[in-house]
Structures are given as structure tokens and as C-alpha cells.
Amino acid sequence: MKSPSQPRDRGIPEATVARLPLYLRALNGMAERGIATVSSEDLAAAAGVNSAKLRKDLSHLGSYGTRGVGYDVEYLVYQISRELGLTQDWAVAIVGVGNLGRALANYGGFVSRGFRIAALLDADPEIVGDDIAGLNVEHIDELEAVIGRRGVSIVVLATPAVAAQEVCDRVVSAGVTSILNFAPVVLSVPDSVDVRKVDLSIELQILAFHEQRKAGGPLMAVDSQ
């Protein structure tokens, strides 16, 4: 016998966590369009996944659907937001204000989802002092002070590759345990620190691999099978 308010299972599979933001976005779109209830089938279609998978994912958060009806859009938005920790606001610092850092600072998708850019930092004196997305770019020397003073808990690394590890070390020393890394290097951090990596060129290389396959690559001419 499970109490309906059974707090969600503490062990949510990583694969599920990675899809929750997808569901959340789809649900937000539906809420805006005034849709009150949605079936797993429809929501799965909107998120581009299999409906059984979606139901299993949601079941990890608790039993929030109604059989024969579906899920209440607004309630589900709230539950997923809470699970992802988006009901609080997260102070994010972006280190490295080159082209990419600038793009990130201006990217609306962050702010709209519980994230607040609390600082922009760079080492280049040419850039320090600039105003970008309504924020003043501060010098990297201020890193630790800024992190402490503004309660930064997530850092985005958009520095050149050579600087990434050093900045990372300082950030970790300052107590940050969540890092989003855009620099094309493998960061070494303590186990307690979470690093997610986004590498634009890797994605392209994976595409190239498949494209080569489809095209029947130059060297794979006659010998297949």
C-alpha cells in the first residue's frame, strides 16, 4: 500500500532526469495554449519519445496521472519543476566572455527557467568592464569573491581550452560543485563535483560519421559485404 503522497523515489534514473526538461518544455507550451489535460500518448509525441517510456519516467516522480484521463498539465509542470529544482532560483556565473560566453549570456532560455546569470568574468582587460546582457564583465581575479558573495552554485566555463582546468580548480576550491563545461578538454575534478560537457565539434563529428555512412563513403566502395 502506497500513500499517494509518497515522496518521489530518491533514485531517479539518469536517463529519466535527462528527459524531464524535455517534458517540461512540451508541457509549458501546452499550458500556454490553454490545454488542461494531456495523455501520455500526446505528451510523448510532443516530446519525441515513446509513450511507455514517458509513463515510466513520470512514474518515478510519483503517481500523478488519472487513468482514463491523463495528466493535469499545470500540476505536472509543477511536479517536474520541483523535481528538477527549478522552483528555486539558481545563480549562475559565466567564465569566459568570448563569442560563446556572450551568446550564452544573451540566451533567453536560461532566465526563463529558474536560472539567473549572476556574473560574467573574463581575464582579458579589453573585455572587463564591458556591459553585456545588462551585466558588467568583471575580472577573473574576482572569481572567488563573486562566487561567495552572490551565492553562485553553478558555473559555466566558456574559456579557451588552455585556461579551463585552472579556472575549474579555482571554482571548485570556492565550493562550486556543478559545472557546465564548453571548453574542449577533459576536466579533472573531485568525485563530489558534477561536470557536464557540451562539445560542439564532437556533435558535428558524429554527424559526419553518419553522413559518410549514408553517402557510402569514399573508401568504403565495393567491399561492403
Partner DNA sequence: ATCCCTTTGTGAACCGACGCACAAAGTCGC
Partner DNA sequence: GCGACTTTGTGCGTCGGTTCACAAAGGGAT
**Nearer Cβ to a second copy, position 52 or 69?**
52
Q: 167 φ, ψ to 5°?
A: -60, -40
Return the ∠ at Cα 104 (arms to 184 and 84), rounded to 5°. 90
Tell which one of 47, 71, 95, 104 touches DNA (CB under 7 A): 71
Under rule CB under 7 A, residue 79 binds DNA: no
Tell me how far, at minimum, the Cβ of 81 lies from a second copy, in Å. 9
Return the ∠ at Cα 113 (arms to 154 and 25), rounded to 5°. 125
Tell me how far, at minimum, the Cβ of 58 lies from DNA, in Å. 5
Under rule CB under 7 A, residue 50 binds DNA: yes
C-beta separation of 98 from 123 below 8 A: no
Under rule CB under 7 A, residue 51 binds DNA: yes
Under rule CB under 7 A, residue 80 binds DNA: no
Under rule CB under 7 A, residue 26 binds DNA: no
Q: Quick one: which of 68, 69, 93, 84 has its CA closest to 28?
A: 84
Under rule CB under 7 A, residue 59 binds DNA: yes
Give the burial string for 50-61 (b: 16+ CB within 10 Å, else e). Answer: eeeebbebbebb
**Nearer Cβ to a second copy, position 48 or 68?**
48
Under rule CB under 7 A, residue 39 binds DNA: yes
Tell which one of 36, 52, 145, 186 touches DNA (CB under 7 A): 52
Helix (H, G, I), strand (E, B) or coil at 215: helix
The C-alpha atoms of residue 9 and residue 93 are separated, in whole angstroms, by 31
Chain positions contacting DNA, by CB under 7 A: 2, 13-16, 38-41, 49-53, 55-56, 58-59, 63-71
